[in-house]
């Protein structure tokens, strides 16, 4: 079930990348950046809490999704995306590199478990 969810989210992200340049100086990126808006809409009725997180990576703004429910087990392997939805970096295993490289993290959307 979780694999289907993550594959669906990945496909939505991949298919919804916008071709035009988007600046990350947005006051409300969830409403002003098309692919983020579509991602938010696609994350509903969560069986585990899932969050969209905005952060800094190499002095630029990035976004990623994470399973933030302490009750649900998963492997943390986020894909950092820029404002246009392009993948900037994939982390395949949790490690200290992520903690050093990805800073100023803040949750901008949280889909809470309906259970």
Domain boundaries, position 64: 2-111
- Which token pair is 66? 């994470």
**pLDDT tens, 37-63?**
999 999 888 888 999 999 999 999 999
The whole-angstrom separation of Cα 17 and Cα 112 is 25
Strand ordering across the sheet containing 102-111: 87-90, 79-81, 60-67, 50-57, 102-111
Q: What is the pLDDT of residue 20?
A: 36
Q: What is the pTM of this model?
A: 0.75
The whole-angstrom separation of Cα 52 and Cα 85 is 13
> How many domains would you assign to the chain?
1
The whole-angstrom separation of Cα 39 and Cα 5 is 12
């Amino acid at each position: 079930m979780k694999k289907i969810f993550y594959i669906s989210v990945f496909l939505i992200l991949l298919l919804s990348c916008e071709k035009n340049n988007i600046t990350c100086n947005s006051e409300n990126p969830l409403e002003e950046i098309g692919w983020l808006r579509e991602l938010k809409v696609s994350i509903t009725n969560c069986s585990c809490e899932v969050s969209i997180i905005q952060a800094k990576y190499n002095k630029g703004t990035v976004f990623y999704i994470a399973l933030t429910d302490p009750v649900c087990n998963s492997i943390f392997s986020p894909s950092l995306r820029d404002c246009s939805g392009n993948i900037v970096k994939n982390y395949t295993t949790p490690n200290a590199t992520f903690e050093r490289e990805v800073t100023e993290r803040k949750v901008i959307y949280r889909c809470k478990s309906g259970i």
